[in-house]
């Protein structure tokens, strides 16, 4: 099979139609250039170039072969550049796990930064709860997770990604929306609350149980669901109030009013980036270096305004 160097020689002669200029362009002398063309013609079994003392022209076979020769050389050069970019993390694939709530808060910003900084790195997204993310990280099915702490599992490394506040989501006609002051946790005592699932949304379930217990409030849990989106639908239907991450306000659900809650523990909702220690995926390492924030994001970074 012909070599890429012989293709380069043929292309130079075909474009210059002059062996002297082609040799000068390739930084070589004419005799080795002529030998390269002769060897290429021998390998192909056809004459590509007519050379006389007065002119150099392409044969019909040479004219037909020239576009393919250029394309082959371009593909080879492109492949060489591509393979060099992979170890540098400029190309490749990162499989990312995320929770539904983090999709509202962090995912859009992460994707925007990745497109800007690493346009040739493909992010494959997998929506799953924290426990499932941890298992997939341990088996290598995920490269990066966006999960709720604590994430203490041997072999995993985590970095704080987001701290945000919980806010109350109320039906637009709920009496508490008319209070002339900021809501408190005690205002939620004996109120109908759409609660998180004990199993599928364990992080939020335990956070709210401990929060209400400390505040001495005892709401009525009318439904237990997993996803924030579902909670907002139930709130809109008038089923009750929900406590959701402040970034949920970016969804702008019709018929739902958001209110901050006074005397609340500051930014209790946490989200961490987590990955396997010693990962050798260059694209992941580049993502961690250039795309993930050097400081954790807060609600102020992600939400323009939450109703007060």
- pLDDT, mean over the chain: 87
Extract the tokens encoding 92.
């490749």
The DSSP call for residue 250 is G
CB-count exposure of residue 290 (10 Å: 0-12, 13-18, 19+): middle
Cα–Cα dist 235/227, whole Å: 13
Give the residue range(s) of CATH 3.40.190.10 domains in the chain: 92-162+270-302, 166-259
What's the CA angle centered on 247, arms 133 and 149, to 5 degrees?
Answer: 35
Cα–Cα dist 270/148, whole Å: 6
Q: Tell me, what's the pLDDT at 274?
A: 94
Cα–Cα dist 121/112, whole Å: 12
Instruction: For domain 4-85, say whether CATH 1.10.10.10 is its number.
Output: yes
Are 48 and 40 contacting, i.e. CB atoms less than 8 angstroms apart? yes
Give the residue range(s) of CATH 1.10.10.10 domains in the chain: 4-85
Cα–Cα dist 144/308, whole Å: 35
Q: Cα-Cα-Cα-Cα dihedral of 93, 99, 101, 103, to 10°?
A: 10
Homologous superfamily of 92-162+270-302 = Periplasmic binding protein-like II (3.40.190.10)
Cα–Cα dist 308/294, whole Å: 30
- Of 130-139, 147-156, 167-176, 239-248, minimum mean pLDDT range: 147-156
**CA 81 from centre of chain:** 23
Nearest to 268 by CA among 244, 304, 300: 244
pLDDT at 124 over 60: yes
pLDDT, tens digit, 9 for 90 and up, residues 294-305: 666 665 555 443
pLDDT, tens digit, 9 for 90 and up, residues 26-44: 999 999 999 999 999 999 9
CB-count exposure of residue 67 (10 Å: 0-12, 13-18, 19+): exposed
Confidence of residue 91 (pLDDT cuts 50, 70, 90): confident
DSSP 106-127: THHHHHHHHHHH-TTEEEEEEE
What is the CB-side half-sphere exposure of residue 27 using CA atoms within 13 A?
A: 1
Homologous superfamily of 166-259 = Periplasmic binding protein-like II (3.40.190.10)
* Furthest CA-CA distance within the chain: 103
What's the whole-model pTM score? Answer: 0.66
CB-based contacts of 252: which residues, under 8 Å, 6+ apart?
none
pLDDT at 306 over 70: no
pLDDT, tens digit, 9 for 90 and up, residues 192-238: 999 999 988 889 999 999 999 989 999 999 999 998 999 999 999 99
């Amino acid at each position: 099979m012909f070599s890429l160097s012989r293709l380069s020689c043929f292309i130079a002669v075909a474009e210059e139609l002059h062996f002297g200029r082609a040799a000068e362009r390739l930084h070589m002398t004419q005799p080795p250039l002529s030998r390269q063309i002769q060897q290429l013609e021998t390998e192909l079994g056809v004459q590509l170039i007519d050379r006389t003392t007065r002119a150099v022209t392409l044969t019909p076979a040479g004219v037909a072969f020239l576009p393919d020769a250029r394309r082959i050389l371009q593909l080879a050069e492109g492949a060489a550049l591509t393979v060099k970019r992979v170890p540098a993390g400029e190309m490749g694939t990162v499989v990312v796990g995320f929770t539904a709530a983090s999709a509202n808060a962090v995912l859009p910003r992460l994707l925007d930064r990745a497109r800007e900084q690493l346009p040739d790195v493909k992010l494959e997204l997998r929506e799953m709860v924290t426990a499932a993310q941890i298992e997939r990280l341990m088996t290598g099915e995920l490269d990066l997770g966006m999960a709720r702490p604590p994430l203490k599992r041997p072999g995993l490394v985590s970095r704080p990604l987001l701290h945000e506040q919980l806010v109350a989501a109320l039906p637009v006609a709920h009496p508490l929306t008319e209070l002339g002051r900021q809501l408190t946790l005690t205002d939620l005592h004996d109120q109908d609350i759409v609660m998180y699932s004990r199993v599928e949304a364990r992080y939020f379930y335990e956070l709210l149980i401990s929060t209400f217990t400390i505040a001495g409030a005892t709401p009525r849990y009318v439904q237990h669901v997993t996803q924030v989106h579902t909670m907002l639908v139930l709130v809109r239907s008038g089923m009750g109030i929900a406590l959701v991450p402040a970034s949920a306000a970016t969804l702008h659900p019709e018929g739902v009013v958001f209110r901050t809650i006074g005397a609340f523990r500051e930014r209790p909702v946490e989200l961490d980036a987590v990955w396997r220690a010693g990962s050798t995926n260059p694209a992941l390492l580049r993502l961690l270096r250039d795309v993930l924030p050097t400081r954790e994001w807060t609600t102020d970074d992600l939400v323009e305004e939450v109703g007060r």
